[in-house]
């Protein structure tokens, strides 16, 4: 049997899928998705894990790929935590799972896996989903789907994924459910939470999902504040000159969905000044693997001839700031997940024929064609906070892409009453960062971390998620 698999570009590839039933919903069959022997996996400690496909739209043949880890202890009592990466177009497996918070991280050169002692599955059952279709192993049989991707489309597929996944793993239906992620998942997560929140009100029509809250890291939230903060951060952290800052400040109106030609030119200068350092972690050394610049996924490093014809200014600035990270880690993950033995063990062996399709940590095609239609998710925050959901935001304070300045502007715009004033929190007798509590929202900074907080500050990030899930305060004293 053959299907058309749309994976990493707008092209379709006819491939044989020998295990097509692996993604069909069957309550009795989730053991078929159990992963027992990933190549290069350490023998100890044991890791209970599952992976496979969940159909989200039968008519179009859309299926999302997942990787699930049971909690290290008492999985029946621990909450279920979904992790999403952004981009749009970046894999939660390629970043969240094997670089940041999963129990198995990829080692150098993609030769195998290492156990992560700071994995978040110490605190929760961890579910990673490659979303939307076209990311990683996730696919659609209807190639036109990839031309209409936008936030509500992604939220609907993610919702259908959760409903169907919980049918396959019914033992987790009653457990507390939280959503987490970073970067452009700052859009995905509140919109998915809102969809669940709204549909939970009609239990006769929709399956109930026991959503309790969400936590987002360095999140894209509102274009105006995000880009105002990006510009101010670049100036205040000595990335750009006074003259460049003044020029951009005078000609840019970030409240406009599309920038003027003068603003695009001024911001080009800002992006250019970031080329020799890592915008996602401004104090980190750049990766020189194979003499690759530190932002291989950032079109600052592409020639102008590579920009697709007809790309709008708005999409162009998104392209310049691709939501990936260090290409060293990207390269290691890509080496590992493109191995046939890995894909076979992972229940993702979709390469049934001769094809040039390869698994990528981030899919440029999705970024180039994604329909950016949502300017701000702040109204959703207001709605869900009033609805009683637990909401946390955290920021690595060395991130120039979604810097603390812009996120603080976003939070201030919510106009929430102050519950507990700005204070220091500690970790291992050192300053871990700062925390401020509002009525309905907690904001935490992580000192010295970049865009991917759990990569840069693993132990601090574990303390952060422990505090979020348990309700215990972050330490106020050394």
pLDDT tens digits, 48-64: 999 999 999 999 999 99
* From 183, 299, 330, 467, the catalytic residue: 183
Selected from 3.40.50.1820, 3.40.50.280, 3.40.50.2020, 3.40.50.360, the CATH number assigned to the domain covering 2-219 reads: 3.40.50.1820
Q: Give the whole-number percent of the chain exceeding pLDDT 70.
A: 84
Instruction: Give the residue ranges of DSSP H helices in 147-289.
Output: 151-168, 185-199, 223-236, 242-251, 261-273
- Residue 362 gets which letter from DSSP? B
Task: Assess whether 2 carries a catalytic annotation.
Answer: no
pLDDT in tens, 437-470: 999 999 999 999 999 999 999 999 999 999 999 9
Confidence (pLDDT) at 9? 34
Residue 476 CB coordination number (10 Å): 11
SS3 category, 1? coil
pLDDT confidence tier of residue 351, bands split at 50, 70 and 90: very low
Gyration radius of the chain over CA positions: 21
Confidence (pLDDT) at 77? 96
pLDDT in tens, 231-270: 999 999 999 999 999 999 999 999 998 899 999 999 999 9
Q: How far apart are CA 223 and CA 336, in angstroms?
A: 35
* From 30, 187, 347, 451, the catalytic residue: 451
DSSP 84-130: E--TTTB-TIIIIIIIIISSEEE-GGGS-EEE-TT-GGGTSEEEEEE
Degrees (nearest 5) of the Cα angle 279, 285, 291?
95
For the chain, give the mean pLDDT: 86
pLDDT in tens, 111-170: 899 999 999 999 999 999 999 999 999 999 999 999 999 999 999 999 999 999 999 999
Confidence (pLDDT) at 307? 31
Confidence (pLDDT) at 29? 72
pTM: 0.87
pLDDT in tens, 160-190: 999 999 999 999 999 999 999 999 999 999 9
Given a cut of 60, whether residue 10 has pLDDT beyond it is: no
Mean pLDDT of 264-277: 93
Task: Assess whether 347 carries a catalytic annotation.
Answer: no
Contact assessment for residue 390 and residue 211, using Cβ atoms and an 8 Å cutoff: no
Confidence (pLDDT) at 30? 85
* From 365, 399, 427, 467, the catalytic residue: 399
Contact assessment for residue 452 and residue 182, using Cβ atoms and an 8 Å cutoff: yes
Q: How far apart are CA 12 and CA 3, in angstroms?
A: 10
Domain assignments of the chain as residue spans, ordered by start: 2-219
Residues 6+ apart with CB under 8 A from 304: none
């Amino acid at each position: 049997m053959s299907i058309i698999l749309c994976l990493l570009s707008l092209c379709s590839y006819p491939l044989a899928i020998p295990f097509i039933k692996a993604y069909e919903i069957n309550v009795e069959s989730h053991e078929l998705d159990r992963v027992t022997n990933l190549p290069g996996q350490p023998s100890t400690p044991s890791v209970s894990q599952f992976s496979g496909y969940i159909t989200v739209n039968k008519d179009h043949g859309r299926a999302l790929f997942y990787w699930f880890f049971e909690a290290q202890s008492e999985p029946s009592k621990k909450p279920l935590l979904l992790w999403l990466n952004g981009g749009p177009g970046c894999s939660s497996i390629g970043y969240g799972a094997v670089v940041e918070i999963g129990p198995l991280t990829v080692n150098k050169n993609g030769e195998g896996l290492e156990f992560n002692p700071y994995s978040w599955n110490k605190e929760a059952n961890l579910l990673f989903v490659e979303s939307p279709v076209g990311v990683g192993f996730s696919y659609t049989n209807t190639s036109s789907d990839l031309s209409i991707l936008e936030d509500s489309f992604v939220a609907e597929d993610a919702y259908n994924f959760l409903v169907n996944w919980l049918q396959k793993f019914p033992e987790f239906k009653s457990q507390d459910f939280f959503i987490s992620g970073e970067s452009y998942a700052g859009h995905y997560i509140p919109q998915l939470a809102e969809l669940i929140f709204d549909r939970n009100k009609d239990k006769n029509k929709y399956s109930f999902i026991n959503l309790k809250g969400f936590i987002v890291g360095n999140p894209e939230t509102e274009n105006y504040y995000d880009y105002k903060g990006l510009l101010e951060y670049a100036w205040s952290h000595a990335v750009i000159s006074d003259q460049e800052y003044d020029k951009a400040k005078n000609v840019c109106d970030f409240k406009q969905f599309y920038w003027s030609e003068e603003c695009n030119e001024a911001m080009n200068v800002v992006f250019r000044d970031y080329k020799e350092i890592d915008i996602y972690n401004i104090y980190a050394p750049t990766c020189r693997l194979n003499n690759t610049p530190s932002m291989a996924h950032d079109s600052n490093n592409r020639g102008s001839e590579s920009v697709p014809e007809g790309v709008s200014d708005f999409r162009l600035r998104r392209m310049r700031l691709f939501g990936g990270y260090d290409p060293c880690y990207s390269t290691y993950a890509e080496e590992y997940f493109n191995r046939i033995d890995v894909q076979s063990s992972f229940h993702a062996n979709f390469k049934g024929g001769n094809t040039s399709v390869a698994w990528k940590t981030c899919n440029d095609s999705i970024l180039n064609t994604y329909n950016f239609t949502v300017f701000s998710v702040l109204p959703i925050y207001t709605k869900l906070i009033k609805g009683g959901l637990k909401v946390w935001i955290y920021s690595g304070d060395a991130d120039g892409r979604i810097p603390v300045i812009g996120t603080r502007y976003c939070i201030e715009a919510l106009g929430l009453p102050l519950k507990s004033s700005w204070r220091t929190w500690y970790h291992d007798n050192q300053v871990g960062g700062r925390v401020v509590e509002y009525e309905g929202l907690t904001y935490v900074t992580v000192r010295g971390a970049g865009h991917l907080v759990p990569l840069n500050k693993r132990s601090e990030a574990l303390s952060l998620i422990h505090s979020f899930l348990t309700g215990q305060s972050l330490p106020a004293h050394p």
